[in-house]
Chain A
Amino acid sequence: GAVVSQHPSRVICKSGTSVKIECRSLDFQATTMFWYRQFPKKSLMLMATSNEGSKATYEQGVEKDKFLINHASLTLSTLTVTSAHPEDSSFYICSAGRESEDTQYFGPGTRLTVL
């Protein structure tokens, strides 16, 4: 299957700082990528749809000014958690799919810990 990578795999930061997470589709181009967050022992919650060359579409209840998404190329989307707080500590996962397929491929996830 298609390969999606994320960087970093884990990050620890201080409260009030911003953290950028990268999501890359390694062997295909993706006009649309998705960002999820997952708390311990909970399911994945969709945060936003990242659209190449245009603004992201956020799910209800997700603060667009706090979770900045940029999809500058067909292989890269970034999620920036601004002014991070301990409650933002979570597992962040991205996914992407080929234009010709309906299947989404998920990245390995990024574990964010805010102290």
Chain B
Amino acid sequence: DAKTTQPTSMDCAEGRAANLPCNHSTISGNEYVYWYRQIHSQGPQYIIHGLKNNETNEMASLIITEDRKSSTLILPHATLRDTTVYYCIVRGTSGTYKYIFGTGTRLKVLA
């Protein structure tokens, strides 16, 4: 079973920050949190990942709570092209790096 839970869907106004939450209360100390998004009929695209510190790259920021039981993906200035499904994943069994996908959040950016 997936180790993460996400809201099924969210809306966000174009140009505003999109904040996508993820719960991973059973995360282990050496497990990373990954975020991917999947545009229709394509493979998932890597966005960002982190262990305990907040992370930022050219696409997004990742905020992980101090107890590591939840995290938030932030798209700083959402555009219409960001409308798609976002997956939060906690890396599976150590040594194999397998990902177990949850249901994801369908983000809709509104004009």
Contact call B42/A95, Cβ cutoff below 8 A: no
Partner of B46, one of A45, A91, A105, A107: A105
Contact call A109/B97, Cβ cutoff below 8 A: no
Contact call B43/A107, Cβ cutoff below 8 A: yes
B interface residues, tally (CB under 8 Å): 22
B108 at interface, CB cutoff 8 A: no
**What interface size band does chain A fall in?**
20 to 34
Contact call B101/A44, Cβ cutoff below 8 A: yes
User: Nearest Cβ distance between residue B44 and chain A, in whole angstroms?
Assistant: 5
Contact call B34/A103, Cβ cutoff below 8 A: yes
Contact call B43/A49, Cβ cutoff below 8 A: no
User: Nearest Cβ distance between residue A57 and chain B, in whole angstroms?
Assistant: 8
Q: Which residues of A contact B (CB under 8 A)?
A: 1, 4, 6, 32, 34, 36, 43-46, 49, 57, 91, 93, 95, 97, 102-109, 111
